[in-house]
Structure 1
Amino acid sequence: METKKVSIEDLGAVAVLRLSNGVTNAIGPELVETLSQTLGYVKKSYGGTVLAGGSKFFSIGLDLPNLLPLNQAQMRDFWYAFDRVVLDLFTLPLPTACAICGHAVAGGTILALACDFRFACSGRVFVGLNEVRLGLPVPYLADLMLRQAAGNRAATKLLYFGELVESETAYSMGVIDGVFPKTDVEKIALEKISQLSHDPKEAFAAIKRNRVEAVCERFEKYSKDKIDQLLKLWFSPKVQTLLEEAAKKF
C-alpha cells in the first residue's frame, strides 16, 4: 500500500509503516490524515507494525513552513487531528515498535513515544522534545506518554530543558529501549514485533489497554483546555517570531 506521505510494506503478519514525506518527514495536515488512514488499515489487516522514517530524519517534527500560515481555527483542527492520530497509534490493539535511524525531533519523538517499543541507531542520532525553546509547552499527550515511558524525573529534565539528546543518552534515560548499529535497527524492531504478533490478539489487546488507559483518561479529561493554552501561546507575537526563525531551517 503506497500513499503520498506514508507507505506500508507487507511482511506477512507484520507491516512496516514508513514515513515518506521527503528528507525531513515533516508533520503537516496531509501526513496526519494519511497516517490516520494507514493505521486503520493496519489495525484490520496485520498482527503488528513497525513505524520507520528516513536515514537522515525519522521526522524533523511539525511542518512549520506550512503550518505557520494557518489561522486559529485551522490550527485548532490540525492539533485535534494530530492528537487523535497519536492517540490512535498509542492505543492500537497490536504490538508496535519504532525504528529510529535518523533524528526524531519534537513531533517525531511524539510519534515514537506512541509506540510500545523504541529502537534507535547508535552514534549521532538525536531525539527529544524541544518545544520549550520555541516558547511552547510540549503537547499534553506527549508529556503523559513520556512520563509513563521514562519516569517522572527523567521526563521532567527533558521537558524543562528542551534538549535534543543522542540515542545512547535517551536509552540511559529510559526513552529508548535499545541502541543498535544502523543496519540492525529495523531488523531488531521487526523481530520484536514478529514475536509478539503470534500471541493471542485478544489477550495482548487487553494487556495493552491496561497500560494505556490511565494516560487516555487523563488526556481526554484535560485535552481541550491544554490545546486552548497551546494555541494561545502559538499565536503570541513572541512565539510566532521564534517559530518563523525555526521554519527557516526547513
Structure 2
Amino acid sequence: MYSFILGNESIKMALSVSAGGRVWRKFFKTFNFGPNSALKRFPTCTANGRLYSSSSDNVLVSKDEKSGIATVRMNNPPVNSLNSAMLVSLRSCFEELENDKSCRALILTSQKPKVFCAGLDILEIYRKSPDYVAQFWEKLQDMWLSLYGSRLVTMAAINGHSPAGGCLLSLACDYRIMAEGKFTIGLNETQLDLVAPFWLRQTMVDVIGYRQAEMALMIGALYTSNKALQLGLVDKLAPIEDVQTVAEEEVKNWLKIPDQARAITKMASRKPLLDELRKRKQEDIQTFRDETTRESVQISIQQYLEKLKAK
C-alpha cells in the first residue's frame, strides 16, 4: 500500500484502482463537499460559455464560445472512479466536442481538487461475469480511443492524485500540467496483480522512453509531481489553485498553431497505435477478461478490499 496525504487525511489507496464510492467515502468524510464548500459544483453555464449536457452529472462541460476552449470536469465523487457510467459519459463528451466544429481545445480536470482520478472502479471487475468484464473493458477502450485520437488540443490539468486510470487519461492528452506537492501519478497495476494493456504500455514508452517506462510498469511505480516532471511524465507544475489557469494559458499558446497542420501532425504520430488497438480490440478484451477473472487476481482484489474496510 502507498499512503497518499490529502490535507490532514492519510488515505490508503490500492495501487491501481479505486474501490468504488462505497469504500472510499469513509476516507473522505473529513472533506466538505457541501453547497457552501469551495469545492462546490461547477456552474452549469457561464457568461461566455455553454454546458454540454451529459447522461448524468458525472461529467461537467463548459465551453468558451469565443476561444473554442472547452473544460471537462470529472465529477464522480469521491475520487472520480472510472466505472461503466463514467466511461460512457467521458466518451460521449469527448465525441460531442470532437464533432463541434467551433471547439478547438479540451482541458480535462477534476471538479473535486486533490484527486484528479483514482482509476478504474475495482468493483467493476470484482466477482463479475466474464461477459460483464469484457463489456466494461470495451467501454474503457472506446473512451481512450476518443481522447487519444482527438483532433483537438487536449490538455490534462491534473489537480490531484492520478494513479492508474488517472494516469491513463493524462497520457492520452497532448500536454500535462500537474499540481505541485505530495500528489502522485503513475501506472501501478502490477501492485494488484494486474497488467497494463499493450496500448497503454506503448503510450508510456512514447512519453518517457523505453527504459524508464519498462521499469515503472514492472514495479508499478507512483511518482511525486517533481519526479514526474523530471521523467517527462508531466510537462509543467503549478500550485494546485493555479493548475486550471496555467492550463488555459498554455492552451492559448497551442492554439496559435493552425489547427489543420497541428492535427495532421498529431494524427501522423498517433495513427499507428490507434490502428493497432482497433485491429486487436477483441484480442485485447479477451486478454483482459481472462487475466482479470483468474482466481488469483480475484483473491488479490478481495484481500485489498478487506484491508480497506478494516481501516
TM-score range, shorter chain: over 0.9
**Residue 103 of structure 1: aligned partner:** 161
**Residue 137 of structure 2: aligned partner:** 79
Q: Is the CA contact (8 Å cut-off) linking 2:125 and 2:292 kept in structure 1?
A: no
Q: Is the CA contact (8 Å cut-off) linking 2:155 and 2:174 kept in structure 1?
A: yes
The one of 41, 53, 66 equivalent to 2:96 is 41
Q: Distance in 1 between matches of 2:264 and 2:124?
A: 39
Structure 2 regions of 5+ residues with no counterpart? 1-50
Q: Distance in 1 between matches of 2:127 and 2:62?
A: 34
Please list, as runs of the form range in 1=range in 2, the aligned pairs for 1:121-136 lying within 5 A after superposition.
121-136=179-194
CA-CA distance at 1:69 after TM superposition: 4.2
Cα deviations by residue, 1:144-197 (Å, 9 ceiling, x for unpaired)? 111111111111111010021111111111111111111221111111222323
Q: Verify: 1:11 aligned to 2:69, yes or no.
A: no
The farther-off stretch of 38-47 and 217-226 is 217-226
**Residue 24 of structure 2: aligned partner:** none
Q: Distance in 2 between matches of 1:245 and 1:6?
A: 31
Aligned pairs, how many? 250
The one of 12, 16, 24 equivalent to 2:79 is 24
Fraction of identical pairs, as percent: 25
Residues 191, 246 of structure 1: alpha-carbon distance in 2 compared, 3 angstrom cutoff: farther
Q: Distance in 2 between matches of 1:69 and 1:198?
A: 50
Q: Is the CA contact (8 Å cut-off) linking 1:126 and 1:165 kept in structure 2?
A: yes
Q: Distance in 2 between matches of 1:69 and 1:240?
A: 7
Q: Distance in 2 between matches of 1:101 and 1:247?
A: 26
Please list, as runs of the form range in 1=range in 2, the aligned pairs for 1:1-250 lying within 5 A after superposition.
1=51, 2=53, 3-12=56-65, 13-45=68-100, 46-53=103-110, 54-247=112-305, 249=308
Q: Is the CA contact (8 Å cut-off) linking 2:137 and 2:288 kept in structure 1?
A: no
What secondary structure is seen at the aligned counterpart in 1 of 2:62?
strand
Q: Distance in 1 between matches of 2:254 and 2:280?
A: 33
Q: Distance in 1 between matches of 2:283 and 2:92?
A: 27
What secondary structure is seen at the aligned counterpart in 2 of 1:75?
helix
Q: Distance in 1 between matches of 2:75 and 2:274?
A: 28
Q: Distance in 2 between matches of 1:5 and 1:245?
A: 29
Q: Distance in 1 between matches of 2:274 and 2:122?
A: 27
Q: Distance in 2 between matches of 1:7 and 1:198?
A: 26
Higher normalized contact order (CA 8 Å, seq sep 6+, divided by chain length): 1
Q: Could you tell me which amino acid in structure 2 is paired with residue 191 of structure 1?
A: E
The farther-off stretch of 191-200 and 156-165 is 191-200
CA-CA distance at 1:227 after TM superposition: 2.9
Larger Cα Rg: Structure 1 or Structure 2?
Answer: 2
Cα deviations by residue, 1:61-91 (Å, 9 ceiling, x for unpaired)? 1111244243111110111110111111001
**Residue 44 of structure 2: aligned partner:** none
Q: Distance in 1 between matches of 2:259 and 2:109?
A: 23
TM-score by length of 1: 0.94
TM-score by length of 2: 0.76
What secondary structure is seen at the aligned counterpart in 1 of 2:176?
strand
More helix as a share of residues: 1
Q: Distance in 2 between matches of 1:246 and 1:192?
A: 39
CA-CA distance at 1:119 after TM superposition: 0.8
CA-CA distance at 1:115 after TM superposition: 0.3
CA-CA distance at 1:237 after TM superposition: 1.2
Q: Distance in 1 between matches of 2:274 and 2:130?
A: 25
Structure 1 regions of 5+ residues with no counterpart? none
CA-CA distance at 1:235 after TM superposition: 0.8
The farther-off stretch of 60-69 and 153-162 is 60-69
User: What is the CA RMSD across the aligned residues, in angstroms?
Assistant: 1.7
